[in-house]
Amino acid sequence: MKKILLVGNGAREHVIAEALKKSPQDVSLIAYGKAKNPGIAKLADRYEIGPLDEFSALKKLALEEKPDFAIVGPDDPIADGCVDALLEVEVRSMAPLATVARLESSKSFTRDLLEKYEIPGNPKFKVFTSNEGMAEFIEELGGEYVIKADGLMGGKGVKVSGEHIDNVEEGIEWAGKCIEKFGRVIFEEKFVGEEFSLMCFCDGKTIIPMPAIQDHKRAHNGDTGPNTGGMGTYSDANHLLPFIKPEDVAKAIEITQKTAKALFDETGCEFKGIMYGGFIATTKGLGLIEFNARFGDPEAMNVLPILKSDFVTLCEHVIDGTLHLYDARFEHKATVCKYVVPEGYPENPVKGEKIEVGEIPEGVKMYYASVDERDDGIYMSGSRALAFVGIADTISEAEKIAASALSSVSGQVFYRDDIGTDALIQKRIDHMKELRG
Ligand code: GLY
């Protein structure tokens, strides 16, 4: 019997719980989160609710339960030292220590690391601690730029000229606010191309890539509206994407591998967990948008349901630093994930509203996200609420499966119905063709 402590209560953690319980090993699941996720609650032997911005209650639970290992899902607790806190009570985690989780929590740390170790993928960039020189650098970049806060802001820390920023003054004003909050801000050259996510298991030395995925950050159909944590994702049966080349993924793997080594050389600490790169295929080659230090959400829902290898064994190899002795195999299936979110999300979401889910068509997987199960039903907490996943031989079929469940949800919600559709994918293919000539 393996006892595993799972930290976090979103859809990402729901699918992690499912993958753990699917193991041929006998798993006892201890769940800890800020609210009661009904999906995780069904799978867990014990479910404790507590804070995630300080770790005393979590440490107490770990001391009481003495799990074999922990998995920490969300970015904030990882950046704030949740893995370090668990290690103080002798629980090792499938997630990185804070010093190497800076890969996600400090964008300047990662840009400097890539530059120092001559790893490809960086755009032109400059870190500022005051407004001095910003206007000149914007000019040097030809007026097209990206501003990144040097800390976690729940998906709201990146602003792109022409998309979120109308003029230089507005950009510099926002950059000033980032400096007030984090002491630094980064200006970068704007990449033009098509994005994809590539997540890798990493034990500090060895990495094992998962299928490539496309995420959709904008809130509304046609990639319009404000940025969100991700409204939906898809992956293809060949583990590539229709608009990227095998060389793009090979380059992404090379960048991830070199970064894992550089992280160790720089900090003396091995990164154990998921290294998740946001990449972009451009005419100038492959660009690295950012690294995250955890499973993506929704991306975890594309890969874990088609993982054929034992997830528990994989986690153990990551933690023990013996990933070279194992392999991660995925089914050759396409997947589409669609999120249902509260009206007004992400800027002004309704909160505390009830949602009801009717009968789900056969073959659809459903994962609970930012909801709270109470005695009289399920209530939304203001962020993404429910996810539906379709799995099939083609993206087109998987899309139809996921979409067939959307109308079963009643409540004040909306969703994007274009994610994974043939029309949207064709747009990506045409865009890449046009760029590559
Ligand atoms: N899907 C974006 C993220 O997990 O950060």
Does residue 96 line the site of ligand 1, with CB under 6 A?
no
Domains, in order of start, for the chain: 2-102 (3.40.50.20), 124-189 (3.30.1490.20), 193-426 (3.30.470.20)
Residue with CA closest to ligand 1 atom 4: 296
Does residue 80 line the site of ligand 1, with CB under 6 A?
no
Does residue 194 line the site of ligand 1, with CB under 6 A?
no
Does residue 292 line the site of ligand 1, with CB under 6 A?
yes
Ligand 1 atom nearest the C-alpha of 233 is 1
Ligand 1 atom nearest the C-alpha of 292 is 5
Predicted pLDDT at 260? 98
Predicted pLDDT at 437? 83
216-222 contacts, C-beta under 8 A, 24 or more apart: 216/416, 216/419, 217/155, 219/341, 219/345, 219/346, 219/416, 220/416, 221/416, 221/417, 221/418, 222/418
How far apart are the CA of 215 and the centre of ligand 1, in A?
8
Does residue 287 line the site of ligand 1, with CB under 6 A?
no
Residue 226 tokens read as 């404000």
Residue 16 tokens read as 């992690």
Strand 158-160 versus strand 207-209 pairing type: unpaired
Predicted pLDDT at 273? 98
Residue appearing with tokens 């690391």? 113
Task: Calculate the CA dihedral of residues 310, 314, 316, 317 and round it to 10 degrees.
Answer: 140
Does residue 296 line the site of ligand 1, with CB under 6 A?
yes
Q: What is the DSSP letter of 422?
A: H
Residue 52 tokens read as 């995630």
Predicted pLDDT at 156? 77
Residue 296 tokens read as 């993506």
Top mutation candidate among 199, 297, 419 for ligand 1, by most atoms within 8 Å of CB: 297
Residue appearing with tokens 């056969």? 362
What secondary structure does DSSP assign to 173-233, as a single string? HHHHHHHHHHS-EEEEEPP-EEEEEEEEEE-SS-EEE---BEE--EEETTTEEEE-S-SEE
Does residue 372 line the site of ligand 1, with CB under 6 A?
no
Does residue 236 line the site of ligand 1, with CB under 6 A?
no
How far apart are the CA of 20 and the centre of ligand 1, in A?
21
Predicted pLDDT at 155? 75
Q: Is the dihedral of CA 351, 36, 15, 410 positive or negative?
A: negative
Tally of CB atoms within 10 A around 237? 20
Top mutation candidate among 215, 231, 291 for ligand 1, by most atoms within 8 Å of CB: 215
Predicted pLDDT at 163? 86
Predicted pLDDT at 28? 98
Per-residue pLDDT of the chain (437 residues; tens, 9 = 90+): 999 999 999 999 999 999 999 999 999 999 999 999 999 999 999 999 999 999 999 999 999 999 999 999 999 999 999 999 999 999 999 999 999 999 999 999 999 999 999 999 999 999 999 999 999 999 999 999 999 999 998 777 899 999 889 899 999 999 999 999 999 999 999 999 999 999 999 999 999 999 999 999 999 999 999 889 999 999 999 999 999 999 999 999 999 999 999 999 999 999 999 999 999 999 999 999 999 999 999 999 999 999 999 999 999 999 999 999 999 999 999 999 999 999 999 999 999 999 999 999 999 999 999 999 999 999 999 999 999 999 999 999 999 999 999 999 999 999 999 999 999 999 999 999 999 88
Ligand 1 atom nearest the C-alpha of 297 is 4
Ligand 1 atom nearest the C-alpha of 299 is 1
DSSP, collapsed to helix, strand or coil, labels residue 267 as helix
Q: Note whether 66 and 40 are within 8 A (CB).
A: no
Q: Note whether 40 and 47 are within 8 A (CB).
A: yes
Residue appearing with tokens 């050759």? 332
Alpha-carbon gap, residue 150 to 127, rounded angstroms: 9
Does residue 195 line the site of ligand 1, with CB under 6 A?
no
Alpha-carbon gap, residue 313 to 271, rounded angstroms: 18
Residue with CA closest to ligand 1 atom 3: 296
How far apart are the CA of 294 and the centre of ligand 1, in A?
9
How far apart are the CA of 298 and the centre of ligand 1, in A?
7
Does residue 297 line the site of ligand 1, with CB under 6 A?
yes
